[in-house]
Structure formats: structure tokens, C-alpha cells
Amino acid sequence: MKLILASRSPARRELMKELGKPFESCASGYHENMNAYRASWRLAQFLALGKAMHVAGKFPNSVIVGADTFITCRGVKIGKPVSIADARRLIRSMSGCVIKVYTGVAVVKTNEKGLVVKKAVDYAVTDLRIKKMSVAEVDLLAHQKDALHISGAFSIEGEGGKMITKIRGDYNNVIGLPVFLVKRMLKKVTSRT
């Protein structure tokens, strides 16, 4: 069986390599509806399953991994910014707060016709304490090359990591793929029982 990552994210592809299994990656093209569910854990699972299912029909006899990551701050869901000004606004809103990073994961198995015959859906959540940032620090993060492509406008890697004072939970979840959770789910979906 082929292993497919329903994402072209460089960070997710790097994390998938930690599984030690050959895989292909394919952009899902799935349109994310951030308002589909109020409960963050449920939304994360819904979006991840949507991504995996969107790709499943293209890959018969395969196992597809879909994932979706977003942030909440004071209970408000934060996605990707639409502009540098929006990135500044989002980063300012997180300054001095504890944010939660949710990643939904879906693993689906297809048969020879590309129909889903087995699936598992779960999520991980990690808490990050963000330091109180200066105007210059906010501006620096808003102008990072990936700012408009990442939930919350900054990543834990590079300059963004300098703004985090405490982490509770899975570090890989913050990057975009909780590897240990994915391993457990792959085992569940590929087992014969």
C-alpha cells in the first residue's frame, strides 16, 4: 500500500520522514471552513478528515494522512492572515497570552477502487505561552517570508520560537504534525482487525 500525505507543506513533509516509511505528498485542494464547528477539537478533526477524503479517490490501495493546524487565543480561532497588516494584528492579539495549537489528524485507507474502507480521526493540542512582544518584534514576525502561509502568522521555528516562553504538549504538533499520534493511527488503520 502507498502512503500519501494530503499536504504539500514542507514542515509536514519533514515530519512525515520521521515515520521511516516512503510516502508521496499531494496537495489536498480542500477548502477549509473555519466556522464548521464551534468546538476547536471537533473543527480540527473535521478539517483533517476533509483533506484526507478530498484526496482519497485519487489513490486506490493507499493510506492517506490528512492534517489541519490552527491556533486559538482566548477561545478565538486564528487562521492564516490575509495581509501583512492582518499578520501584525494577529500577532499583537497573541502577545502576552497562552495560545492553544490544535492539529486534527485523519488517516484513511482505500481499496482498489479508491473507496474509503477504514478511517481514524483524532487531534492533538499544545499550549504555548507567548511573551509580551514589542512593536518591533511584532513587525519582524509579520514580515517573515512564511507569515501569510501559517496559522497565527508565525512559526515556532526561527524568530517565532524566540517569542515562546513555555510549551506544554507535543512540539511536533505546533509544527503541524503530531508524529506519535500519526504512528498510532497508522497502526490502527492498517491492522487486520
- CA 191 and chain centroid, separation: 25
Mean pLDDT, range 80-98, rounded to an integer: 93
Return the C-alpha cell found at 188: 490502527
Mean pLDDT, range 157-180, rounded to an integer: 92
Strand partners, 177: none
28 pLDDT above the threshold of 90: no
Catalytic, 139? Answer no
The length of the chain is 193
How far is the C-alpha of 5 from the C-alpha of 14, rounded, in Å?
A: 11
- Indicate which residue of 68, 122, 146, 170 is catalytic: 68
Q: Which of 77, 78, 125 is nearest to 101 (CA)?
A: 125
How far is the C-alpha of 151 from the C-alpha of 183, rounded, in Å?
A: 24
**pTM reported for the whole predicted model:** 0.90
Q: Which of 75, 69, 123, 121 is nearest to 98 (CA)?
A: 75
| % of residues, the chain, pLDDT over 90 | 75
Return the C-alpha cell found at 170: 507535543
Task: Show the domains of the chain with their CATH numbers.
Answer: 2-190 (3.90.950.10)
How far is the C-alpha of 106 from the C-alpha of 190, rounded, in Å?
A: 13
Instruction: Identify the band that residue 143 occupies on the pLDDT scale cut at 50, 70 and 90.
Output: very high
Instruction: Identify the band that residue 193 occupies on the pLDDT scale cut at 50, 70 and 90.
Output: low
How far is the C-alpha of 82 from the C-alpha of 126, rounded, in Å?
A: 24
Mean pLDDT, range 66-95, rounded to an integer: 92
| Top-confidence residue, 146 or 110 | 110
pLDDT, tens only, 115-140: 999 999 999 999 999 999 999 999 99
Task: Using the Cα atoms of residue 34, residue 50, residue 39 and residue 128 in order, give the sign of their dihedral.
Answer: negative
Instruction: Identify the band that residue 105 occupies on the pLDDT scale cut at 50, 70 and 90.
Output: very high
96 pLDDT above the threshold of 90: yes
Instruction: Report whether 26 contacts 55 (CB < 8 A).
Output: yes
157 pLDDT above the threshold of 70: yes
Instruction: Identify the band that residue 156 occupies on the pLDDT scale cut at 50, 70 and 90.
Output: confident
